[in-house]
Amino acid sequence: MPLWKPGIHPSARAGRGRLGPRRALPRPPWDLPWAVVLLLLAIFLPALGLAAPPEPAAPQPGPAAPVFGRAAPPPIPASLISVAIGRDNAEFLEDPSGTLDLDAVMRLGQGFTPLVHTNFEHTNSALWIRFRIQHDGPHPLTRILNCEIPWLDDLQIHIISPDGTRVTHLLGDRLPFAARERDHNLFLTELTLAPGTTTIYVRVRDMSHIEIPLSLWSEGEFLRHDRKATLFFGLIYGGIAAMVLSNLFLFVTLRARVHILYSLHLMLYATLSLAAHGYGFMWLWPNHPGINDWIFSDLICFMHITGLLFATTFLNTRQYPRLHRLSRILIAVYSILTVLVWFDRYFDRLIPSPPLILPYILFMLWIGIHAWYNGNRSARFFLLGTFFSLVGGVVSTLTNDGLLPYSFTGFYAFEMGICLDAILLSFAIADRMRQMELERAHAIHLAETDPLTGLFNRRGFEEYAARELSRAARHGRPLAVAILDIDHFKRVNDCHSHAGGDVVLREVAECLHQGARVSDVVGRWGGEEFILLLPETTLAEAGQLAERLRLQIAGRLIAFAGQEIHCTASFGIAGLAPGEPLESLIHRADTLLYRAKEQGRNRCLVEATAGPHAAAAAPVLP
C-alpha cells in the first residue's frame, strides 16, 4: 500500500536530497534566494482560488436501471480468485458538484469513460467507478471487494443484483472504526453474488488526494494475501523498533544528539506508516476519526524536520555555512506549515505535493554528495539509502498508477526502500562511530607515544606499568624495572649536532625494542633516559637482560653524516617489593643508575635484594 496520505506522490515522498546554492545566502530577509521566494509563492498564492468548489450540477431524470454505453468493458468473471479493478474491466465518471446520487449516475450511461488509472491527485469532485461481475454458477458466491487506501473520507459501495435489488455499504475514515463491517485496517466489503450479472458502483470523495486501488478476491485468496502483508509489516515495524531502541540506548550511553534525532525520525515514519495503512485508526485512535484529517500532513512535516536535523547533524553541515542556513530555512517553512494545516485544508493538500517534497529531496541529496566529496566516508551509506528509498517511491507510484503490472513487491516498493534506507543509515551511524573510535584510539596513541622513537612516553609507560604492577602484586609474581641513560650524550650533541643526537636516540630505542622480550615494556623516560618494565622477572634475570642490552648498545656503530658514532649506556635495576608503589620502584632503579654512572658508566648495577630497604647493590659482570 502506498505510504503517503493525500497527494503524497511516492516518487517524491522518499529520500534525502540536498540543495546547495553556490552563492552565500545574504542575511537580510528581503534578499532570500529566489528558490525560497518561489517556494513561498507556490505555497500561499494559490490558496485563494484552490478551495473554491465548482458550480453544482443537478441530477437529470431518467430510468432507474443502469445504462451502459456500447464501449462498456466486459464483466469480470466471478470465478477469478483475484483481479484488480482497472482499465480492462471498469469505467469512471467525475461528478464536479458531488451532488449526483445513485439513480442519477445510473442514467448517465454515456458519461462513463474507461478507468485508465486509479490515481486522481487533488480534486473536489466525487468520483464514480462502475464495473460488473458475471456469475454463471447456480448458487450464490461470496467475494471480497478490497480498497487498499484506508484514508478516503467518503467511500460508498452500491451493489445492484441481477434482480435489481440494491445494497449500499457506507465506509470512509470520517466514520468511527467500530462502524466498519469487518475489523480490518482496510476498507473491505463482502459481496454476495447471485447468478447473473451484478453491477457495482463505487463513489469516492476526499478533500485531498484520491487513490482508488480496488481489487476483487475470493475469501481464501484474500486471507493468504493478508497474512503475507501482515508478516511484511510485522518485519518492517519490528526492524524499526529494534533500530529505535538501539539508538535510544546509544543516546543514553553516549549522549550523542544524532542518535536521538534518528530515533525520532524512525518513530515518526513508523507512526505515519501505521496511519497510512489504517493500523493507526484501528489501534490508536479508533473513536476519533477527526485525527485522520490532519495527522498525515503534520507527520510528514515532522518527518522532514527531524530528517533535516538528523542529516545536518550527522553530516556536520556547520562547516558549510550556506548549506546550514538553507537547512534552517527549510525547517522553518515546514514548522510553519505544521501549524497552518490546522486552519486551512488547502495546506493539507499542499504539504504532500511535489513543490514541497522536492526541495527536501534535493537538499538531502546535495548535502550527501557534498559531504562525500569532502571526505565524509559515512555519507556513502547516506546517499545509497536515499537512492533506495527514491527508487522504491518511483516503483510504488508507477504500480499504483497502473503503469507497471501489479505485484506485491511493486505495490510495497516504497516501504521496502524506506527499510533499506533505515538499515543503511544504521550502517552509516555505525561507520561514523567506528571512525570516531579510530580517531580516539589514534589520539590516545599519539598522547602515549614518543614521536621521535615510537616508544611509550612517560605517560603511556606509567599507565601500562600501573596495570602490570597491580597484577603482579595481586598474584604475588616477580617484577623488575630497569632504567638506562646514554653515557656522555651531551658530547654527542656537541660533536654531531642535535640531528646526530636524534639519530642516536632512535638507534638506541631500536636496539632496546629488538632486544627486549615480547612481555617487556620499553619507554622513553625523558631526554636520553629509557626505562624497561620486566614482568615475571627476578632480579637475577633482569640483570642478565640488562647486561645483554648494554653489550648490544656498546657494540652498535651508528652512521651519521659520513661518520660513525659509538655510544654506551649505564643501567640501574630494581625489583618490586610486596605492597610497593610504582614511584618507589622507579626511584630505587634511578638511584642505582646514578650510582652506576658514578662508578665509571657503561655498566649495569642491580639491587642485591628487592625492596626499598635493600642494603647493597652488585654490578653485573660480563
Asked whether residue 453 is assigned to any structural domain, the reply reads no
Asked whether residue 564 is assigned to any structural domain, the reply reads yes
Nearest in space to 374 (alpha carbons), one of 330, 318, 449: 318
Please state the domain count of the chain. 3
- Give the pLDDT score at 221: 95
Asked whether residue 280 is assigned to any structural domain, the reply reads yes
Host domain of residue 209: 76-221
d(CA 81, CA 217) in angstroms, rounded, equals: 5
- Give the pLDDT score at 605: 94
Is there a single domain that holds both residue 289 and residue 423?
yes
Is there a single domain that holds both residue 141 and residue 241?
no
Domain boundary among 178, 198, 221: 221
Asked whether residue 89 is assigned to any structural domain, the reply reads yes
Asked whether residue 163 is assigned to any structural domain, the reply reads yes
Is there a single domain that holds both residue 212 and residue 294?
no
Average pLDDT score over residue span 575-585: 91
Is there a single domain that holds both residue 197 and residue 260?
no
Average pLDDT score over residue span 246-274: 91
- Give the pLDDT score at 611: 57
Is there a single domain that holds both residue 473 and residue 427?
no
Buried b (16+ CB within 10 A) or exposed e, 447-475: ebbbeebebbbeebbbeebeebbeebbee
d(CA 62, CA 122) in angstroms, rounded, equals: 31
Average pLDDT score over residue span 384-411: 79
CA max distance for the chain: 128
Q: How confident is the model at residue 158 (pLDDT cuts 50, 70, 90)?
A: very high
- Give the pLDDT score at 429: 85
Average pLDDT score over residue span 452-475: 92
d(CA 342, CA 351) in angstroms, rounded, equals: 12
SS3 530: strand
Q: What CATH number does the domain containing 604 carry?
A: 3.30.70.270
d(CA 281, CA 309) in angstroms, rounded, equals: 29
Using an 8 Å Cβ cutoff, are 457 and 524 in contact? yes
Length of the chain: 622
Decide which of 406 and 94 is more confident: 94
Q: Name the least confident of 137-151, 361-375, 384-398, 605-619.
A: 605-619
Nearest in space to 2 (alpha carbons), one of 520, 329, 404: 404
- Give the pLDDT score at 70: 60
Q: How confident is the model at residue 13 (pLDDT cuts 50, 70, 90)?
A: very low
Q: How confident is the model at residue 18 (pLDDT cuts 50, 70, 90)?
A: very low
Average pLDDT score over residue span 546-551: 94
Decide which of 433 and 215 is more confident: 215
Residue type, 420: L
- Give the pLDDT score at 263: 94
Is there a single domain that holds both residue 209 and residue 331?
no
pLDDT tens digit string along 527-539?
A: 999 999 999 999 9
Is there a single domain that holds both residue 28 and residue 119?
no
d(CA 352, CA 399) in angstroms, rounded, equals: 19
Average pLDDT score over residue span 542-570: 92
- Give the pLDDT score at 547: 94
Is there a single domain that holds both residue 236 and residue 314?
yes
d(CA 258, CA 187) in angstroms, rounded, equals: 39
**If you ran DSSP here, which 8-state letter would residue 579 be given?**
T
d(CA 249, CA 547) in angstroms, rounded, equals: 55
Asked whether residue 474 is assigned to any structural domain, the reply reads yes
Using an 8 Å Cβ cutoff, are 130 and 190 in contact? no
Is there a single domain that holds both residue 351 and residue 475?
no
- Give the pLDDT score at 29: 38
Is there a single domain that holds both residue 518 and residue 377?
no
Q: How confident is the model at residue 351 (pLDDT cuts 50, 70, 90)?
A: low
**If you ran DSSP here, which 8-state letter would residue 480 be given?**
E
Half-sphere exposure of 45 (CA within 13 A, CB side): 6
Q: What CATH number does the domain containing 121 carry?
A: 2.60.40.2380
pLDDT tens digit string along 290-330?
A: 888 788 888 889 999 999 999 999 998 888 899 999 999 99
Q: How confident is the model at residue 63 (pLDDT cuts 50, 70, 90)?
A: very low
- Give the pLDDT score at 432: 81
Q: Say yes or no to pLDDT of 6 above 50.
A: no
Domain boundary among 221, 255, 278: 221
Average pLDDT score over residue span 73-101: 92
Q: Say yes or no to pLDDT of 600 above 80.
A: yes
Q: Name the least confident of 11-20, 108-117, 322-331.
A: 11-20
**If you ran DSSP here, which 8-state letter would residue 621 be given?**
P
Is there a single domain that holds both residue 149 and residue 89?
yes
Q: Say yes or no to pLDDT of 571 above 50.
A: yes
Domain boundary among 221, 238, 266: 221
* Contacting residues for 437 by C-beta, under 8 A, at least 6 apart: none
Decide which of 288 and 42 is more confident: 288
* Contacting residues for 139 by C-beta, under 8 A, at least 6 apart: 195
Average pLDDT score over residue span 502-520: 93
- Give the pLDDT score at 48: 37
DSSP result, 277-323? TTHHHHHT-TT-GGGGGTHHHHHHHHHHHHHHHHHHHHTTGGGSHHH
Asked whether residue 67 is assigned to any structural domain, the reply reads no
Is there a single domain that holds both residue 378 and residue 252?
yes
Using an 8 Å Cβ cutoff, are 125 and 135 in contact? no
Asked whether residue 56 is assigned to any structural domain, the reply reads no
